Amino acid sequence: MSAAICLRPVIAAIALWSVSAPVWASNAVRPGADGVKFTAVFNDTGPVAKLVFVVLVVSAILALVLSFLKRKRGEAFVSGLRTGGILVSLAAAAFLAMNICVRMVYDGGVPPFVIWAPGLAEILMVVMAGFVASGAAAFAHATMARPAKAGVQ
């Protein structure tokens, strides 16, 4: 494997970060506040959303590492994460949506959108992590399933 192939994911990540930097720098959770909106959403989430998000992101990174190392022992993990990542995130999203609905019932009506928008941001953050984990696992599974070229180890 040449060095150029190894550096492609790093270059792609740097390019993606540089393109999305203005989006990360603005804050939509608290209008007028300085800071990064993703960290504001992550800091405002409850323990369930934080745990699911961290587990899914770490699983996506692990799947990519296993695919680049061509480890056959991790193939079952990657295959399970391919479908399980999005299912776990949807289960967490359903739990978070249920919490929003329960709160609306106890408050006696639908609050303004500004009040429950951070809850929707939590849900979307968890679902996004599930899509990222499933996408990384699908890529890793395809990379691991590809037969090695003759003479290349």
In the prediction, which pLDDT does 24 show? Answer: 47
133: pLDDT strictly greater than 80: yes
Residue position matching structure tokens 């959303």: 49
> For residue range 25-72, what is the model confidence (pLDDT) as tens digits?
444 445 555 555 777 778 778 888 889 999 999 999 998 888 888 767
C-alpha 137/C-alpha 124 separation (Å) is 20
pLDDT at 90 over 90: yes
What pLDDT score does 26 carry?
45
* Whole-number Cα distances in Å, 130 to 20, 56, 70, 134: 20, 6, 23, 6
